[in-house]
Structure 1
Amino acid sequence: MNHTTSGKMTNEVLSTIMNHRSIRKFKDERLPREQVETIVRAAQMAASSSFMQAYSIIGLTDPTLKRELRDITRTPYVEENGHLFIFCADLQRLTVMADEQEKQDMKVMLESSMAYQIAIVDATLAAQNAVLAAESLGLGTVIMGAVKKDIVRLDQMLGLPEYVTSLFGIAVGVPDQQPELKPRLPLEAVYFENRYATDEEQQELIAAYDRDINEYYWTRSENNRMDNWSRKHIEKLTKKISLSGMTEYVQSKGMNVN
């Protein structure tokens, strides 16, 4: 039931959302099949553009495959978790019931940036539902983009057909840590009314946020460091890293071509 606390409306769903934190250490307990299916069914209830449901979820349970993915990502929680879900953009399913002529007629739209964007958004909405469902069951989660560090190898591991690409993973399990909540950007830095904020308006807000984030990093119980939000991402986005391969991979799957 909704109730007011300190002027704010709260309920169990909001409490779960507002207490989200990424968990990177799990107890050695596998999720029962019932919980896995509940999480997937919750993911399926997310909104979907034109009801395309243009995503698939692959549960990675084979210890050999999980070990191989750990080698790719260099993150232990990829292997050590209760269950690992890989979310994929999936336009292939839309073609299954089409005849050969219809498949040819669908090709331009299937290979468009618009269709790929739809698939990414559908998968992301489903993933957020999955995270919320898992955390409502008392489980911990972490969303991982690192599974794409060798995206071609992952594609081969999962046997993905044309018009299907992997996007990210979600590790779920019984938490074996309780990290502090990480402060988010001020509401005024992400929510504007009627027009986008000016740089000057943003700079003041972000400067204050940088101070809050630096204090968070310095005082948290694990992995203390001096850092702030803006400097971290400026340095990340100015690094000369190789971006080759991702576009070629996606287009080789017949997606985001035009």
Structure 2
Amino acid sequence: MGVNIMNQTLETIYQHVSVRSFTEEKLTQNEIKELVTAAQSAATASYQQSYSIIGITDDKIKSKIAEYAGNQPFIKESPELFIFIADLHRNKEMSKRLGIDVSRAIENVDATIVGAVDASIAAQNMVIAAESMGLGTCYIGGVRDGIEEISKLLEIPNDAYPVFGLVIGHPDQRNDLKPRIPFDGIYTTNKYFKDESKIIDDYNEETRSYYQNRSGRKSNRTWADTSIKSIEKHPRDYMKRFLNKRGLAKY
């Protein structure tokens, strides 16, 4: 006999939308502590916890980050901004105390990936916690557009780098819920998809209808238009050079 698996956590996850319009109300220190604690409760590779979180409380610094991250005004206007850091620096400092040389391991591309994965899992925990509290959230991948300037601004040491930002606040306006790729277009068993053509075509038509009929700014575009133009616009081909300069992703 099956059980009813639907619960409040799943309901919260299924209703996720990005929020870019907030009231002026700030989060309380207790709310911030709860959000960070939720982030820290996430899984982490081999207990390394290779990430750090910088809360931006200085409006001047926040304005600079908004400028470097693609001149996005809502970042500057958001009540709270968190920058998630892939942090291998702390591991390197611990290794010195133990007299173990892990320089080459930390310079390896896998360690760089581990830091980004740890930061991402922690951030998603924070998002779910925030949305369960009735707050709105939006990831800021544009942080990597100004990654060098933002790293200097926040005095991030070598062996660490910002992966993305996350704005959180009390929603003033919410976007309509976007349709996702159908279950059969994401999930397959044992082997990769043999043919994705129909899934892509059907989903493009579904998303075209969404963009044409949503309550906000309407447009005649599809998921493919949005996704591929984003890839084309943000190649970020400087990332390898940037990471190498910071002692990461060398091998």
Shorter-normalised TM-score: what interval? over 0.9
Residue type of the partner of 2:215?
Answer: S
**Contact 2:211/2:218 (CA < 8 Å) preserved in 1?**
yes
**Contact 2:204/2:224 (CA < 8 Å) preserved in 1?**
yes
**Contact 1:29/1:81 (CA < 8 Å) preserved in 2?**
no
Q: 1:242 to 1:15 in 2, by over 3 A?
A: closer
Give how far 1:246 is off: 1.5
1:25 pairs with 2:21: yes
CA distance in 1, matches of 2:11, 2:235: 40
Equivalenced residue count is: 249
CA distance in 2, matches of 1:238, 1:75: 19
**Contact 1:69/1:154 (CA < 8 Å) preserved in 2?**
yes
Q: 1:101 to 1:38 in 2, by over 3 A?
A: closer
Structure 2 counterpart of 1:176: 172
Q: 1:85 to 1:238 in 2, by over 3 A?
A: closer
**Contact 1:85/1:169 (CA < 8 Å) preserved in 2?**
yes
Structure 1 counterpart of 2:244: 251
Alignment partner of 2:89 out of 85, 89, 92: 92
Give how far 1:101 is off: 8.8
Structure 1 counterpart of 2:117: 121
**Contact 1:147/1:168 (CA < 8 Å) preserved in 2?**
yes
CA distance in 1, matches of 2:33, 2:161: 22
Give how far 1:150 is off: 1.5
CA distance in 2, matches of 1:25, 1:234: 26
* Stretch moving more, 40-49 or 230-239: 230-239
CA distance in 1, matches of 2:248, 2:129: 30
Task: State the secondary structure of the residue aligned to 1:169.
Answer: strand
Residue type of the partner of 1:81?
Answer: S
Structure 2 counterpart of 1:218: 212
Q: Give the fraction of aligned pairs with identical amino acids, expressed as a percent.
A: 35
Task: State the secondary structure of the residue aligned to 2:177.
Answer: coil
Task: State the secondary structure of the residue aligned to 2:77.
Answer: coil
Residue type of the partner of 1:158?
Answer: L
CA distance in 2, matches of 1:149, 1:28: 27
Q: TM-score by structure 1 length?
A: 0.91
Q: Output one character per residue of 1:220-241: Cα deviation in whole Å (capped at 9) or x when no partner.
A: 11111000112333444456x6
Give how far 1:114 is off: 1.1
Structure 1 counterpart of 2:59: 63
CA distance in 1, matches of 2:199, 2:226: 16
Q: 1:178 to 1:192 in 2, by over 3 A?
A: same
CA distance in 1, matches of 2:146, 2:123: 21
5+ residue gaps in structure 1? none
5+ residue gaps in structure 2? none
* Backbone CA RMSD of aligned residues: 1.8
Give how far 1:98 is off: 3.2
1:140 pairs with 2:136: yes
Residue type of the partner of 1:49?
Answer: A
**Contact 2:95/2:102 (CA < 8 Å) preserved in 1?**
no
Residue type of the partner of 1:206?
Answer: I
CA distance in 1, matches of 2:41, 2:116: 16
Q: TM-score by structure 2 length?
A: 0.94
1:185 pairs with 2:166: no
